[in-house]
Structure formats: structure tokens, C-alpha cells
């Protein structure tokens, strides 16, 4: 497995990249105060107490994480004029997260994304998983990591407040083999970087693919959709999918297709193109292969909201990213402040291994064995320009 330790990142792209890990208007040397607080966020239907951990830095950035689903509930950031707004979709209270909803801000697993027909073979044994997305398995099944209570501990630091969340997924849970111990840690840096570190161990061979399912709208609610956001994805290839959004095994070049985001382009510029892959996903819902230069954190994507000036950079140790343009958001949910969550009102950049990897031996392995440690990291870096 790829080691998720942070390294210095120097993005050498001819697309206006920020050099050597420094974002454009990130304040540099402001004094920091110890800033992690905990507050009640309600109770589940079986009377389990849910807590919200609020991380702050001196630049006005604030991240709120709850122990139900290890979920990023809000992420507040200033725009180019200094006005602070929440840039992720979700709900004001726990009630919204307890109802069927599209994984807003949650950690998903054991296997983020899809496994074809809900089955895979490992060590000669065929495992059958829940089928909860057409004929396929999605995001860990009926009760994945997004729907369980994690044990949380605040990390009270004057420079990098955080919260550590732990969960034991028992052997056979949702059909997966092995007792899996998972730790997810969120930390917020003075450089406006929200980092997510994933660690896991198992006592039996298993498969694992963890990711965070946050929906971003960098306008902070000012724009009803994200079609005007400009997006760069550091990928030369993607994995085409069948009608069930399962990869066929091909790694297709993005060049000459609506999937070429190597240079920044508005999300809505080609989303309506007459393209078979776009039609299958009802827009973008595809896995992009990150162009890596080595181990450690790599720039995966950059999104910009031209109106607010907010910039989101995503860095990760993972080999791929699922870009999802909110195609199945349909206006049936009311989010924060009672605002309707409409079609394409948020986008996801889910750093990950490839979908359906357990059934594709040529894809990078997702097998975790006893004695090994799964270690991955993703950073959401915020700025304004």
C-alpha cells in the first residue's frame, strides 16, 4: 500500500499551478490559538449521542466533523473579499443525516465506489456483498462506514487542531472478511489545509478502499449549481464504464474527449456533450487516473469559483479520483438554511483506488493482509484569489 506521509509538493503544471505547495492568498504567519471544541449534535434513533468537533485556525477557516459516519458536516472559508461561507453541502442538524441521503461529507467504506454484482473472489473464496446500487455494491453496502458511530478523540493543538476517529468493522460485516481496525484523523493547518489521514489493519485478508464523500460548492451557496466552477484534474487517463457504472478494464486517454481537464475548464462546458460515457453517468461520475511523479502527496485536482475567488486544491497519496458532478441531486432534499439541494449543486472529488478493483487483477491492488498497514492521506487546501 502507498504510504500516506506528507511530503513537500511542487506542482509543475503549465496551468497556473501554485508553486511548491504555497497557495495564492493563504495568510502565512498569523499567530495561532488552540482551537478545537466539542458540542452535542443530537442523538440517533437508538439514543446514541452524536458529537460535533469544530476545528478552527486564525485565518477564518473552520471545519466541523461529527462522529456519526466520521462526517465532514461543514467547511467554512473566506472568499477574495474576506467573507466567510460554508463550501460543502449537508444539513444543519443530525436529522438530515439519519434519513436516506447521498453520503454528504461521510467516510465511505469498506469499499468506496462500486463492486460489480456485489461479489469478489479472494484467496479462492467468493464473498457476496449487499447489492444496493442496481445490481452492484456501492460505498460499503446497506450499513457502510457512513452509517456507524465512530469513537472520537479531540486533538487540541495550537497549530494543528484535529479529531481522531476509530471504528472496528467486524469480520463478516456487510459481507467483508476480517476484523478491520480503522482510524481516520482530520487536522486543520495554519495554511488552510484540511488533511484526512487513513490507517487500517486487519486480522484476515480483505479488500479496502476508503474515501471521503464531500460535496463542494465554493460559492458558499451563492450559486445554485457548480457548472461555472473551473476544474483541473491531473489525469491523462480515465476508466470508461458500462451502463451500471462499472469499469470495463480499459484505461482510456482523456485527450480529445469531454474528460480532458488537464487544463482548467468550466464543469458545465462539455457536460451536455453527445458522448456515450457522459450519458451513462448522466454527467461526470468517472474515475480518473492521477498522473503521479512519485510516492507521497500529489496534486490531484484544482477547482476555482470565479465569482467568489475561492480555490480548492486536492492533494492525495491515492492513485485515482472519482469526479462526480452531482447528477443525481434532484431537489428533493432541503439542506443548510432550508436551501433546496438542486441538480448539480455540488461536486465530489473522491480520492480512491479504482472502482471494482477486486474483480480486475490488472488494477492496483486493494488487498490488505494481516501484518500490513493501510496508510493513505488526502488534503483539501483552501485559498482565495
Q: Is residue 350 among the annotated active site residues?
A: yes
Average pLDDT in the 318-344 region?
97
For the chain, the domains span 19-384
Residue 86, pLDDT > 60, answer yes
Q: What is the mean pLDDT of residues 367-376?
A: 98
Residues 6+ apart with CB under 8 A from 107: 69, 70, 71, 145, 146, 165, 184, 210, 211, 212, 213
Over residues 104-115, the mean pLDDT reads 98
CA 358 – CA 365 distance, rounded (Å): 7
Mean pLDDT of 88-103: 96
From the list 62, 137, 174, 213, the catalytic residue is 213
CA distance from start to end of the chain? 36
Query: Which CA distances in Å does 384 have to 23, 219, 266, 268, 289?
Result: 8, 11, 18, 21, 27
pLDDT, tens only, 259-316: 999 999 999 999 999 999 999 999 999 999 999 998 899 999 999 999 999 999 999 9
Taking only the tens place, the pLDDT of each residue in 39-58 is: 999 999 999 999 999 999 99
At 358, give phi and psi (nearest 5°): -60, -20
* Measured distance CA(366)–CA(176) in Å, rounded: 13
User: Is 213 tagged catalytic?
Assistant: yes
Q: Read off the pTM.
A: 0.91
- Judged by DSSP in three states, 56 sits in strand
Classify residue 339 by its DSSP letter: -
Q: Look at the domain 19-384 and name its fold.
A: Beta-galactosidase; Chain A, domain 5 (2.70.98)
pLDDT tens per residue, range 339-356? 999 999 999 999 999 999
- pLDDT given at position 35: 86
Lowest mean pLDDT among 6-10, 66-70, 242-246, 343-347: 6-10
DSSP, residue by residue, 159-196: S--EEEEEEEE-TTGGG--S-EEEEEEEEE-TTSEEEE
pLDDT of 33 above 50: no
Q: How far apart are CA 43 and CA 39, in angstroms?
A: 12
Residue 271 and residue 258 in contact, taking contact as beta carbons nearer than 8 Å: yes
Given 164, 350, 353, 360, the catalytic residue: 350
pLDDT band at 12 (very low <50, low <70, confident <90, very high): very low
The neighbour count for residue 356, using CB atoms within 10 Å, is: 28
Q: How many CB atoms lie within 10 A of CB 292?
A: 17
What is the per-residue pLDDT across 210-246, written as a single tens digit (0 to 9) for each? Answer: 999 999 999 999 999 999 999 999 999 999 999 999 9
**pLDDT value of position 32:** 44
Does residue 326 carry a pLDDT above 70?
yes
Residue 9 has pLDDT above 60, yes or no: no
Amino acid at each position: 500500500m502507498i504510504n500516506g506521509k506528507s511530503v513537500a509538493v511542487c506542482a509543475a503544471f503549465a496551468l497556473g499551478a501554485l508553486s511548491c505547495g504555497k497557495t495564492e492568498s493563504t495568510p502565512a504567519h498569523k499567530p495561532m490559538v488552540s482551537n478545537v471544541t466539542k458540542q452535542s449534535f443530537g442523538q440517533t434513533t437508538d439514543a446514541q449521542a452524536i458529537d460535533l468537533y469544530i476545528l478552527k485556525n486564525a485565518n477564518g477557516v473552520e471545519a466541523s466533523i461529527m462522529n456519526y459516519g466520521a462526517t465532514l458536516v461543514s467547511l467554512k472559508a473566506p472568499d477574495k473579499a474576506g467573507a466567510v461561507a460554508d463550501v460543502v453541502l449537508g444539513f444543519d442538524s443530525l436529522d438530515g443525516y439519519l434519513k436516506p441521503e447521498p453520503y454528504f461529507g461521510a467516510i465511505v467504506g469498506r469499499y468506496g465506489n462500486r463492486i460489480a454484482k456485489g461479489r469478489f473472489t479472494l484467496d479462492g473464496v467468493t464473498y457476496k456483498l449487499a447489492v444496493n446500487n442496481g445490481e452492484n455494491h456501492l460505498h460499503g453496502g446497506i450499513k457502510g462506514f457512513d452509517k456507524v458511530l465512530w469513537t472520537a478523540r479531540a486533538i487540541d493543538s495550537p497549530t494543528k487542531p484535529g479529531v481522531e476517529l476509530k471504528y472496528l468493522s467486524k469480520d463478516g460485516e456487510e459481507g467483508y472478511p476480517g476484523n478491520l481496525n480503522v482510524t481516520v484523523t482530520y487536522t486543520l493547518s495554519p495554511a488552510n489545509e484540511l488533511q484526512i489521514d487513513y490507517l487500517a489493519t486487519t486480522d484476515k485478508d480483505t479488500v479496502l478502499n476508503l474515501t471521503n464523500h464531500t460535496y463542494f460548492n465554493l460559492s458558499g451557496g451563492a450559486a445554485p449549481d457548480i457548472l461555472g466552477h473551473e476544474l483541473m484534474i491531473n489525469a491523462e487517463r480515465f476508466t470508461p464504464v458500462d451502463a451500471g457504472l462499472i469499469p470495463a478494464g480499459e484505461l482510456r486517454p482523456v485527450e480529445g474527449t469531454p474528460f480532458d481537464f488537464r487544463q482548467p475548464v468550466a464543469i458545465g462546458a462539455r457536460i451536455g456533450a453527445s458522448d456515450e460515457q457522459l450519458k451513462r453517468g448522466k454527467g461526470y461520475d468517472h474515475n480518473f487516473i492521477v498522473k503521479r511523479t512519485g510516492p507521497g502527496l500529489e496534486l490531484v485536482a484544482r477547482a476555482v469559483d470565479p465569482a467568489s475567488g475561492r480555490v480548492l486544491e486536492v492533494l492525495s497519496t491515492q492513485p485515482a479520483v472519482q469526479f462526480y458532478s452531482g447528477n443525481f441531486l434532484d431537489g428533493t432534499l432541503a439542506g443548510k438554511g432550508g436551501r433546496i439541494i438542486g441538480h448539480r449543486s455540488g461536486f465530489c472529488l473522491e480520492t480512491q483506488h479504482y472502482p471494482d478493483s477486486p474483480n480486475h487483477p490488472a488494477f492496483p491492488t486493494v488487498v490488505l493482509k494481516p501484518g500490513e498497514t493501510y496508510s493513505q492521506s488526502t488534503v483539501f487546501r483552501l485559498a482565495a484569489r
